[in-house]
A and B are shown apart, each in its own frame.
Chain A
């Protein structure tokens, strides 16, 4: 007879307890879970990468629906439990669902603390706790407004970093003088603040919130000192409170949290409490490592093993903001009986501080370089006497013994009990043991079997080094995602091999690189076609059947299957003759809509596919060519009127824009490419959100690049200054060619730039004149094959099959 186990809450701690229980006692319990959130168990630690857009919800699911089915768990999604009837051992949800239990686990987690200042109930005041909060923030971020984050602790800063990634401007208010004061000493807190400010986050410390202002919704935050900060949303991230309400109503002992023994039992032995809602030994825990320890104890207890007890342990803290390395553990307050060792490298932004008592490490704060964190932590736990290595201790593990070790050797030298994954409490020996015993060869394998690197992921590098150290050359990291399901190779490998092996057709690529499908898919074929077009100009014959319909028929498909037609208007300039021709075409073919585009030209919408060649013929006759408004290639060069007309214009921005467009039209690029030239820093052509933008100044041309104004909004970065128009043209062309050669298909220029880094771009197209010239020359050569008007070709009969039906059947035949 199975026993009935009911769990209230479906977070990470009960999820872990169940995994453990199913491992040790499969089939002993039939399990029912009530989850107030309408979804499965996910990794709450990873909400920050979801908010910043680096991961999706699917990426952070721990147990998908199938897991519940396989383990025959009855999961009530979106059911909040409102009553525990301990006498009859029944719980009841808001919707009236009931479940009887033999054993009950309360895992209600915590609720965000809301400062009860006036205005805290206004619409737009959010917390940062679950996926719904993240969705609310992402929705608000779409409006690109201003966010105020109250609280400069772990959660608040992760929220701030995520929101700025989403395009909001962000202010962090923190009541203490330095950020994250519970995890960081003031020096590291200051470095962190400086880095966040560098990223555009405004940080105000010693900030006491007096009131949240607004009539219907949040408009501003008012501080005690009278400062008013504009706010479209306010995120409260000042802390959490254990959620013991339900337990209290059920008559269980509750202090700050639900009081439990060191075996996680509440005042009712049939009821356990687990996770952030539980108070064990007078303390409530919030980080994942101690909560997983609790989960293991509950699982053991349910399985009849009453030996395990909760022992408080030090836990290391890391901040999960991409690009900020920060690690702290232990006690880092100052005191008479303590000594400290500090290393500062201001240029590199590195700060390390070790706190010692009686020659033993009791605390460590690392900023900027955190690889030695686990090594220090290990010595802290083992109470290692550091006297012998005192002089070089702060330089880390690699420097012990006189000469620097390579990182692999450092990992290899760690003792088996050194902790690698802080979240899941996995030590080195367990990982290497699993690699050997289970024959693991991948990161995912290690994650599945040991849970190491499966939570916050910050130890991924260490786990990979362990794989490498254990397997030697048998480990090949599959860190690069494959291009599509047809191959294991990533975009960069495919591209490298196309050149290395001189592969010059799609079938040849698929043959030589061992494609798994006979003729690819809609993901890889257009990518391969682009790579071959870009890498073998003049030799490779474009494969139309591997292009999306827009590039195949040189017009943009619309939702009803008609097309839109956009002729080029060089630099946005047009003439009465062109406008007349456009008007005539619109009349002649009864084109239903004519619209001015954002790229300074005119869009004819609703053209029937079979009319396209005739429409083009008329536009060609008036001297117009395809505007390539459909192409992963050069689109527009937007200009202002510059020194021709404008009283502020410093250079001939229109003329330069036209010159650029005439030079570069027809070029295929990894994704669409939009340029602009503004005649002065007032920037009427909006050049600073383009893929490449030029701002004319008195002394010449400032060349900007890597802007975005679509799904993402991002200002450009200044690449360099050019003194003359010729020099500016050469740099822009070389930059475009570098992007053509390095960009992954569909990767816009700002994403490519972020991936390869500005220094390497500078080195190729700005500082090294020979390299610049080589890129420029390759572009010019490629253009000799690219600058053919596709409309004219089709007017003259190319691809005629695209524009006519194969056969027609009228009523009499079909109705026979």
Chain B
């Protein structure tokens, strides 16, 4: 009697699976427990095991085909056995190999591929054993037998998921009866952290953290996984608390504050000359050198004084917009574990040398993890500088509850037209990310114009 192999339900939310790879050929002898194919579900690539012994008589789907749960994938049986009763039972015609990929399913596949978060968590795939345990055997008619809609998860797993704002429904359980357990959550968190989702570059921008990139686990995209052993796909590094906090805050910002971005190109020749002069003085006085970033911090602070709308916060819970009377500029600093933003308080009132000293001192302590939490709180505006990495321009995610963040690119040599002649020039692009709930385009632009003015004629800063 020929035995049908149909598409199992491999996750609680799965409706169909893509057969990504066949691991057995027609005519192969297989035994119960053998993996004959890999199936990509909405969440993971899973092993497809058989539950009977026999010869793989027929494959009914091609690699890459999407197959509904319960639809026929293959037929097992004795060598030379007639498989037509099985095909009839499943309503598969003579051209069985192509039968599964009808138009409707093709459409569904497109949909499934569209959301970019799905593959992002795909690598939290449980090991083969766990998958086998949870693998339900669908009824002959393809109805999902065991799905009563209840998600089994250990209490600890539920709590961890809730703390990390993970939707437990998107996680595969590797425990008995598919119970989601602690390690599943840990894997999901790793996957979420390490997955190359679209927002990831923006997060990295906010933190000029080159070390972070070096640390990032070697990770393969789902598309690369086809015939690679699961074990080699990644190296798991447990989430640090800081990483969790960064993730949570940035996600919250990005998803709740509607960002828009304004970029302006600033002529930095004036600032370069100004800085040279300044540092003659600081050298004489044995004070730390003033960096371009320090000058930009000061320039932002002075501009914020003129544009209080930008020095603000949209507070939904409180039902108010807060316009700050003080100017506190947060300066993003990359450290080993991630990103921190020490705050230069009253930056508008402080001299450049003092800003330079404070920034240097706090950044140093930040790297030693000696910064007090209070020193990282209360920024009314933030800057993030990736210029030292040669980044020309980028967009940053707003550091809530501030209304704006300034992403600072590298100062670059550029031919510029001056007085009708092309001459070498120094230019820098900055991009202001604005929370549209409180800062409109014109407001943001006016702020940037003032900033530009101050940096092109830095003597303004002394006024």
Q: Do A and B form a real pair?
A: no
